[in-house]
Amino acid sequence: MEEVKRHDLTDQPIRHLAEVEMSEADKANLQEVNLNRRAIVALGKISLDHEQRLLSLEEAVGALAGEEEELVEIEAETDGEDQ
């Protein structure tokens, strides 16, 4: 007979997890976790957007000040670290 893998959080076989009944408290907790995850993702997107805007602003200020962009040689920086 084929061996059925067990889920780490329950002793139910994986293929039967969908059939496990959840209490109302478990459903509420799961919904709250899902909402928190969505909020964290949204905050991450906002943070990334602000970071990109700040970098663009720094580049614009540098251009107004007459600064030239510095090219970074990646190979030169990582050469000593790989050995």
Give domain status of residue 79, yes or no.
no
Model confidence at 14: pLDDT above 80: no
Least confident residue range of 7-11, 14-18, 48-52, 62-66 = 7-11
Give domain status of residue 13, yes or no.
no
Question: Which range, 2-11, 16-25, 37-46, has the best average confidence (pLDDT)?
Answer: 37-46
Confidence of residue 1 (pLDDT cuts 50, 70, 90): very low
Note the Cα 57 to chain centre separation in Å: 25
Give domain status of residue 83, yes or no.
no
Give domain status of residue 62, yes or no.
yes
Domain holding 61, by residue range, is 24-66
Give domain status of residue 30, yes or no.
yes
Q: What is the count of structural domains for the chain?
A: 1
Beta carbons within 10 angstroms of residue 12's beta carbon: 14
